[in-house]
Amino acid sequence: MFEKRWSAWVCVSSTTKGDNGPMPLYRDSGVVLRTHKLGEADRIITVLTRGRGKIRAVAKGVRRTKSRFGARLEPGMHVDLQCYEGRNLDTVTQTESIDAWGDVIARDYRRWTAATAILETADRLTEEGEPAVQQYLLLAGALRSLAHDEHDPELVLDAYLLRALAVAGWAPSFHDCARCGEEGPHRAFHVASGGVLCRGCRVPGASAPAPETLDLLAALLTGDWVVADASADRNRREGAGLTAAFLQWHLERGVLSLRHVDRTAPQRTG
């Protein structure tokens, strides 16, 4: 399960002297979501942390070849950071690698494209300075699964997307009617309604996915990997389309990285 609990990392607070007086120091673990160049040698990094939610911080000198921790602050890396707070941006003072997921995942194109979409979604679903422990745990679990090659990347991606949306308050229904709650299974699926619909609630424009596709999506949402791993390609493709549509509806615009996801794989007939 992506929601696997970890031992808490101790957050250390203190102060350090700056040009404008004391500045509080803090320490937290997090996953690097993205980076941007700043000046000739620095980068702005966006990190989803366990304790503080999403933060942006300046990593000074990391683009120099002799940087001590430049490689640790790449997208997908799981790190332990020490930063001091600034008025607009924090500044990284120390970093230690916890898991080099980004480095491992980048060696495989299918896993890397899936990870890129996961990182972009995590960025979109979180706000700076707002605690998001569950989103952090889901992200860490998804990247760990990709790095260890535990399941097909497309399944890890869609499982993450469905669960992240559920944590954000948009849990889809794949069995009972999303409108009236009538017990399923039901065949009609309508993104704007929140999932499957019974005959009485069915609206124009609802699709009729294969029952096996709905079973797959339900398995991905709940973490039933026995069912998910045994699914057929046609159901994975159909499920991926429904998941992407559901994500786009709630985010109000698409996740750009999804269009680059490599879903090529050996054919399965299960």
Q: What is the CATH number of the domain that holds 25?
A: 2.40.50.140
What is the CATH number for 213?
1.20.1440.120
Q: Is residue 126 part of a domain?
A: no
174, 194 Cβ separation under 8 angstroms: no
Say what the pLDDT of residue 193 is.
96
111 is a domain residue: no
Name the pLDDT band for 17 (thresholds 50, 70, 90). Answer: very low
Its domain, for residue 180, covers 151-260
> Residues 160, 216: one domain?
yes
* Residue 94 falls inside a structural domain: yes
Residue 18: the pLDDT is 46
User: Residue 232 pLDDT > 80, yes or no?
Assistant: yes
Based on its alpha-carbon atoms, the radius of gyration of the chain, rounded to whole angstroms, reads 20
Could you tell me whether strands 53-59 and 90-99 are parallel, antiparallel, or unpaired per DSSP bridges?
parallel
Q: Does one domain contain both 161 and 238? A: yes
Q: What is the pLDDT of residues 133-171, one digit of tens each?
A: 999 999 999 999 999 999 999 999 999 999 999 999 999
124 in a structural domain: no
Instruction: Single out the residue in 83, 103, 123 at which a domain terminates.
Output: 103
Which whole number is the average pLDDT over 112-131?
95
Residue 116 DSSP label:
H
Least confident of 61-65, 74-78, 218-222: 61-65
Q: Is residue 144 part of a domain?
A: no
* Helix ranges restricted to H, the chain: 101-105, 109-125, 133-147, 153-167, 211-222, 225-229, 233-251
Inside any domain, residue 9: no
**Could you tell me if 75 and 119 are in contact, meaning their C-beta atoms sit under 8 angstroms apart?**
yes
* Residue 84 sits in the same domain as residue 174: no
Under a CB-based contact definition with an 8 Å cutoff, are residues 228 and 220 in contact? yes
pLDDT surpasses 80 at 66: no
Q: How far apart are CA 29 and CA 48, in angstroms?
A: 9
Specify the pairing of strand 188-190 against strand 78-84.
Answer: unpaired
- Is 133 a member of any domain? no
- Whether 174 and 245 map to the same domain: the answer is yes
User: Is residue 128 scored above 80 in pLDDT?
Assistant: yes
% pLDDT > 70, the chain: 85
Domain count, the chain: 2
- Is the predicted pLDDT of residue 53 greater than 50, yes or no? yes
